[in-house]
Structure 1
Amino acid sequence: MTDTPLATALTLVDETNRRSGVSGAAETFKIGLLTPLSGPGDAVAGGLIVQAACLGAEYLAERGGVRGGIPVELVVQNDQPSDPGEVMQRSSVGGAAKLALVDNVHAIIGQWHLRTSPGVADAAELFGVPLFVENGHSTLTMRQRRTLFRTYFTIADRSPLVADLLRREGTRRVGILAADTVFGLMNADGVEGELRARGIEVLRFDFPQDATFDVRDQLREIRDFQPDVLVNCGVVRTNYMIIEQAAELGILPGAQLVVMFPFPMRSADYWRLAGPAGAGVLWPATYYRPSWPGLTEIGRWFTDRYSERFGSFPPDNALNAFTDVAILGQAADHAPELSREGLLTALESHDFDTWRGPVSFRRDADHWHHSPPPIVLVQYQEVGQTFDDATIVFPPEASTGTYQAPGVRAAR
């Protein structure tokens, strides 16, 4: 088997299931991992989700499994297309159906792409399978589905925070480049609306994600607009393309770079791909880092074990996947029976220990089955910084240092 993200994930899950004692068990607690593990999706993110889910199963195994000794079994399903011409919206729903009807999982986690999540959520509701998503789709929980849960912040949570900081810093003009994916457009729509509401001028261009390899023409118009800030709403591949070409045309480092996708958290990859042009980047992130004293016992177990096993501090999508497995394990213990319906009953009626303290799932219009973590704006102020070295610059009550504008950094 070739060393692909999917092959690596399958091997890792097989090893985790073996250590958890799944083989020969009369009964297992099955969790499906429906996540991108090949192109055109973000296979890096999917791989991180699988790594973290495996540690979630390991955490539960070290505590005796669920319900007094039932082992946790993970089932991997790549949500990306395998046939020419197929789109991921279809392959992801097919993967959900397989997990629900063939593998008979008790729950599903791992949805990363915004464009696949609504269809998967509909399928999970049809099959009555508890589903945890790992992304920030702004309206996904508003339909108040019984089976859908989330422990991550939304895109709608990010935009006001970004706009508030930029207004405070006297921003006059902002250029926006957005990929035409659900994620790219939802971010661009949100931040553009918040900026315009604060009296900031905006020049925006959207481009086809899959077919675009050159945005220099759009960037030239943005350069002529003389923006104070460049907002990068690219996604996999195009996020770094925008940085590279904006630097080539002289927009960076003179303008403040803002990215709406927290890919800079993967610091080694970020500096390797962005280079010095990525210095000063500002992005919304979960309020969480290696030195943060707010990590609970379960959070410290995860971050220490992840660092030991994989050689780096886990980014927030990995943290989120681990959290969802840990919550499902606790829900299995609280459930009146080990079934999908039993899990749903427990998830709606109990508190669950997580890295940031107890979490529960309310049923109200603003946060239906959604318990978001605190969100902050983070900035790399020197080339090569790690995520733990980055400065939290906003909101003021959470800041660890002062925001540095491009002119300030250039004068250092």
Structure 2
Amino acid sequence: MNAREVVQGEAAAYAESVRDAEKVTVGIVTPLTTPGDPVAGTLTVRGAILGAEYVREHGGLGAGRQFDFVIRDDQETVALDGGTMPRSAVGALAKVAIVDQVIAALGPWHLRYTDEVAELAERLGLPLFVENAHPSVTAKRRRTVFRTFTSLAERIPLLLRFAAEQGFKRIGVIHANTVFGESAAGLIAAEVERAGGTFELYSVPFDQESTTDLRPELEAIQRWQPDVVINVGVVRTNHLIVKQAAEIGLLPATPMMAPFQWPLRATDYWANLGESGLHLVWPATQFSPNWPGLTPMGTWFAQRYLDRYGTTPPDTALNAFTDITIIAQALRSAPRIGRDELIEALESGTFDTWRGPVSFERGATHWHHSPPPAVLQQYQQVDQDVSTVPVVYPPEMSTAGYVRPGNGT
């Protein structure tokens, strides 16, 4: 079965469990087919369904109400729309907002159409929880847009502080020409300039859609002799960069970092990369089934996901779970079930999550954006996952020292 069939089946099983309840419907607009990332979409839906199960088992939404879901593949009309993702994604959101009349929506995952989807949600007055790291979507101060995920604006400075402390001066960047790739590369360049001579930068772009061989770009970076390489590939090319860097000898001799947490999809990561995936560093949250700060809600989620899927949950699923449980708490406190009432409850409330209380300020730094603290993680043994991966930075949150490729320390 493909991802769309899998998640529709899982959603139907959940719906059967609340068949006799009054429903409050949430839309999930996420990639379930290519050219998007159907793995991310699957994780998002699974996290949301587990959030609804948690709500069902902890009192529901009040007055006998339970969640229901309408799931749309935001890639469903890409071919009809001339290969452009934004038209397809905006269309998917319009359908759940106008036709299905959902109370709120989760999505999108890809940065390349986040602003367009957020703008439509704002025009329609639809509460939207963004499930990605777009650096400025919440900074635009839209009334309807919320986020509990870390953004590139938190992740890139952390990576560069770590690089400085490790003595990495020459930074090579290889980046896709997507919104995510260009945004990350631009933020890296801005941080390098802000550091005032601490770093030297060599940045190489590539075309995400057509590229199947990145060895020429990687060899150009290799000739420049970087101290560290930042891998800003996205779906498909992130793995390709690691594989071909190992083929030409750039890895493991040169450390590598990435600006998002795709290695936490551990089963796919190790199946694709094997030992070549060792020692990559990426930003994530402190979430782990073994993290001492985990709340009872977080423990419930980690155990239910493990029982259901046989693995520990990556934070893509965690984030959707968090957003659904926050929506539930806000709806319980609202005077009636409505979009405006939900927004007002979200703005005024404080909500229990896996990491403790969360609220949505309307401040200069974070507008409707309540991210967890960002940390850097590193796989130091083959087949590690989110339950065993060490945090290597910042020092006050680390659980192990950084292992530099080539010398083991």
| 1:238 matched residue in structure 2 | 237
Aligned-residue offset at 1:336: 1.3
Structure 1 counterpart of 2:209, which letter?
Answer: D
Spell out the pairing of 1:363-382 with structure 2 (5 A cutoff).
Answer: 363-382=362-381
Please tell me the root mean square deviation across aligned C-alpha atoms, in Å. 1.3
| 1:328 matched residue in structure 2 | 327
Q: Alpha-carbon deviations, 1:356-411, whole Å to 9, x = none?
A: 111111111211111000110111122232233222111110011111212322xx
The verdict on how the C-alpha distance between 1:387 and 1:67 changes in structure 2, with shifts beyond 3 A counting, is closer
| Contact kept in structure 2, 1:262 and 1:284, CA below 8 Å | yes
Hey, what's the Cα distance between the residues in 2 that align with 1:101 and 1:390? 43
| Contact kept in structure 1, 2:33 and 2:75, CA below 8 Å | yes
Aligned pair count? 405
Aligned to 1:67, the other structure's residue is in SS state coil
Structure 1 counterpart of 2:16, which letter?
Answer: R
Aligned to 2:28, the other structure's residue is in SS state strand
Hey, what's the Cα distance between the residues in 2 that align with 1:20 and 1:232? 44
1:168 aligned to 2:160? Answer: no
| 2:25 matched residue in structure 1 | 30
Aligned-residue offset at 1:150: 0.3
| 1:14 matched residue in structure 2 | 12
Hey, what's the Cα distance between the residues in 2 that align with 1:373 and 1:86? 35
| 2:68 matched residue in structure 1 | 73
| 1:341 matched residue in structure 2 | 340
1:182 aligned to 2:182? Answer: no
| Contact kept in structure 2, 1:196 and 1:202, CA below 8 Å | no
Q: Alpha-carbon deviations, 1:29-87, whole Å to 9, x = none?
A: 11101111000001000000101111111111112321221121111011114334241
| Contact kept in structure 2, 1:352 and 1:358, CA below 8 Å | yes
Seq. identity, %:
46
Aligned to 1:159, the other structure's residue is in SS state helix
Hey, what's the Cα distance between the residues in 2 that align with 1:88 and 1:81? 9
Hey, what's the Cα distance between the residues in 2 that align with 1:196 and 1:126? 37
Aligned to 1:77, the other structure's residue is in SS state strand
Structure 2 counterpart of 1:72, which letter?
Answer: F
Structure 1 counterpart of 2:114, which letter?
Answer: S
Hey, what's the Cα distance between the residues in 1 that align with 2:60 and 2:193? 52
| 1:41 matched residue in structure 2 | 36
| Contact kept in structure 1, 2:313 and 2:386, CA below 8 Å | no
Hey, what's the Cα distance between the residues in 2 that align with 1:58 and 1:383? 33
Q: Alpha-carbon deviations, 1:121-173, whole Å to 9, x = none?
A: 11111111110011111110111111000001110101111111111111121
| 1:222 matched residue in structure 2 | 221
Hey, what's the Cα distance between the residues in 1 that align with 2:405 and 2:169? 15
Spell out the pairing of 1:246-261 with structure 2 (5 A cutoff).
Answer: 246-261=245-260
| Contact kept in structure 2, 1:299 and 1:356, CA below 8 Å | yes
| Contact kept in structure 2, 1:81 and 1:88, CA below 8 Å | no
1:191 aligned to 2:179? Answer: no
Spell out the pairing of 1:2-401 with structure 2 (5 A cutoff).
Answer: 3-21=1-19, 25=21, 27-82=22-77, 83-84=79-80, 85-198=82-195, 199-401=198-400
| Contact kept in structure 2, 1:110 and 1:321, CA below 8 Å | no
Hey, what's the Cα distance between the residues in 2 that align with 1:182 and 1:282? 22
Aligned-residue offset at 1:196: 4.4
Structure 2 counterpart of 1:357, which letter?
Answer: G
Length-normalised TM-score, structure 1: 0.96
Hey, what's the Cα distance between the residues in 2 that align with 1:81 and 1:201? 42
Q: Which runs of 5+ in 1 are unaligned?
A: none
Structure 2 counterpart of 1:61, which letter?
Answer: R
| Contact kept in structure 1, 2:252 and 2:406, CA below 8 Å | no
Aligned to 2:168, the other structure's residue is in SS state coil
Length-normalised TM-score, structure 2: 0.96
| Contact kept in structure 1, 2:281 and 2:378, CA below 8 Å | yes
| Contact kept in structure 1, 2:312 and 2:385, CA below 8 Å | no
